[in-house]
A = this chain, B = another copy of it.
Amino acid sequence: MGAASQARRLRPDADELRIDVFEKGTRTSYALCGIPYVVAGEIDAVDDLVVRTPEQFKTKQDIDVHVRHEVVGIDVAAGAVEVRDLATGQERREPYDQLLIATGAVPIRPPLPGIDRPEVHGVTTLDEGSALRQRVELLAGRRAVIVGGGYIGLEVAEALLAQGLEVVVVDVAPQVMRTLDPEVAAEVEQAMVRHGIDVRTGVEVTGFEPDAVHTVDGPLPADLIVLGIGVGPNAALAADAGLELGARGAVRVDDHQRASAAGVFAAGDCADSHHLVSGERVHVALGTVANRQARVAGINLAGGDAVFPGVLGSAVTRFVDLEIGRTGLTDGEAVAAGLEPVSTVVTSRTTAGYYPGGSPVTVKLVAERGTGRLLGGQIVGGAGAAKRIDAVAVALTAGMSASALRDTDFSYAPPLSPVWDPVQQAARRLADHVNG
């Protein structure tokens, strides 16, 4: 819908550019990222996450949204899609001049016994979010098992704590938050434990029953089961149409969001991206990336010439009173990308040391040995900590070195920062290590 809106803004006349959207569900333009906060009761209902309805798209922008219409096939040679009207079951062929594939992501669901039971909740659609909220309201004091200790697992854990449940988080990896290096993730895990969560890392889940999650360490009794293992690209339709696939099976796109067939574009969680630091093709399923890719695709669909330069995997989240941010490559990712990283971890505060009410903050920065080029950053700390990662993201985008970030004129006031910002403290230390 972001691409459709962007295209319409450039070509306001519907006679000049007709825009049809086929959506197998009933809603458009919604913020799935808000689901955990609906589950927590901070937001009343999933409908509050809908930014614009199909009717609003029609009346405000002359965009025709066909809800409950599933595209079941793409004929790239003929330039047409097969559409099934889910109300009638009838299929029809719709020709296109240009096509945008924006099919999003699908949750990862390993083929484990019982995983498709209705008691195993997902959080990847508004309907799933709504169902989980309703269940949770009846379960205060009961025990939930969340499978997966990444962003979604963490946010759902926070939500279930807020609703008074006991929470177990189980993850097959040796740490939570695999997008962080182990020593940074350890701080997140400590916070989870401090807030009463039973964290089981390095534990493989083997199956599900209505009242238990089976693991290699034995069963975990559960009044509620939530899956937060992550998502993969929903690219089956593109693959069936013969379009080239890229990173992790996502639709391979160029820097104009063009897929491998003429007139076909892809954007969002179904498409792959260029990683600005590693130079590799990656699949990053984040709303930020989807929105920016949508802007680029929309401009190009409207006949413009926009480029999507790439991604850093910048992300933040909050767990109760802890904020977590990351961008670029971790130490581990840098090594995997064939780079030689050098890194530093500093502990500082969100405020001046003498100012009351500040919180500890840990910053890890990673640079390339020798050149000092920044490769990535990770931040864990109290209120005000995580969004500091954006300064690192800008530095990565500009190809800055640790010393250039150290020398940057960061801002300061006692209630908001130490005189050397924590990010800058890390850059200062790292710059000293780059050649050491």
Give me the interface of A with B, judged by CB distance under 8 Å: 31, 33-34, 37, 42-43, 48-49, 51, 155, 276, 286-289, 291-292, 295, 308-318, 323, 325-327, 352-356, 383-384, 386-391, 393-395, 397-400, 404-405, 407-417, 419-421, 423, 428
Known: A287-B419, A395-B398, A420-B291. A412 touches B316 (CB 8 A): yes
Taking a contact as CB atoms under 8 Å apart, the answer to whether B314 and A415 are in contact is no
Residues of B within 8 A of A397 (CB): 398, 400, 404, 407-409
**Shortest CB–CB separation between residue A84 and chain B, in angstroms?**
30
Residues of B within 8 A of A353 (CB): 51
Sample of 11 more A-B contacts, CB < 8 Å, known A33-B352, A314-B409, A387-B417: A42-B356, A48-B354, A288-B410, A288-B412, A312-B408, A315-B412, A391-B393, A393-B409, A393-B410, A394-B408, A397-B398
Residues of B within 8 A of A49 (CB): 354
Residues of B within 8 A of A295 (CB): 428
- Identify the closest chain B residue to A398 (Cβ): B398
Residues of B within 8 A of A309 (CB): 404, 407
**Shortest CB–CB separation between residue A12 and chain B, in angstroms?**
15
- Identify the closest chain B residue to A357 (Cβ): B42
Known: A43-B355, A49-B354, A414-B34. A409 touches B316 (CB 8 A): no
Taking a contact as CB atoms under 8 Å apart, the answer to whether B398 and A394 are in contact is yes
Residues of B within 8 A of A317 (CB): 413, 416
Q: When the two chains form the complex, which single residue of B393, B408, B412 contacts A411, counting CB atoms closer than 8 Å?
A: B393
Known: A327-B409, A354-B48. A416 touches B391 (CB 8 A): no
Taking a contact as CB atoms under 8 Å apart, the answer to whether A416 and B394 are in contact is no
Residues of B within 8 A of A415 (CB): 37, 318
Residues of B within 8 A of A387 (CB): 384, 387-388, 411, 416-417, 421
10 contacts between A and B (CB under 8 A): A42-B355, A43-B355, A155-B413, A288-B410, A317-B413, A387-B388, A387-B417, A387-B421, A388-B390, A390-B423
Q: When the two chains form the complex, which single residue of B354, B356, B394, B419 contacts A405, counting CB atoms closer than 8 Å?
A: B394
Q: Across chains A and B, which 6 residue pairs bring their CB atoms closest together, nearest first?
A: A398-B398, A312-B409, A316-B411, A394-B394, A314-B411, A390-B391
Taking a contact as CB atoms under 8 Å apart, the answer to whether A37 and B409 are in contact is no
**Shortest CB–CB separation between residue A271 and chain B, in angstroms?**
15
- Identify the closest chain B residue to A407 (Cβ): B309
Residues of B within 8 A of A428 (CB): 295
Residues of B within 8 A of A288 (CB): 409-412, 419-420
Known: A393-B391, A398-B398. A413 touches B354 (CB 8 A): no
CA distance A94 to B6 in the complex (A): 70
Taking a contact as CB atoms under 8 Å apart, the answer to whether B391 and A318 are in contact is no
Taking a contact as CB atoms under 8 Å apart, the answer to whether A327 and B411 are in contact is yes
Taking a contact as CB atoms under 8 Å apart, the answer to whether B394 and A400 are in contact is yes
Residues of B within 8 A of A386 (CB): 411, 413, 416
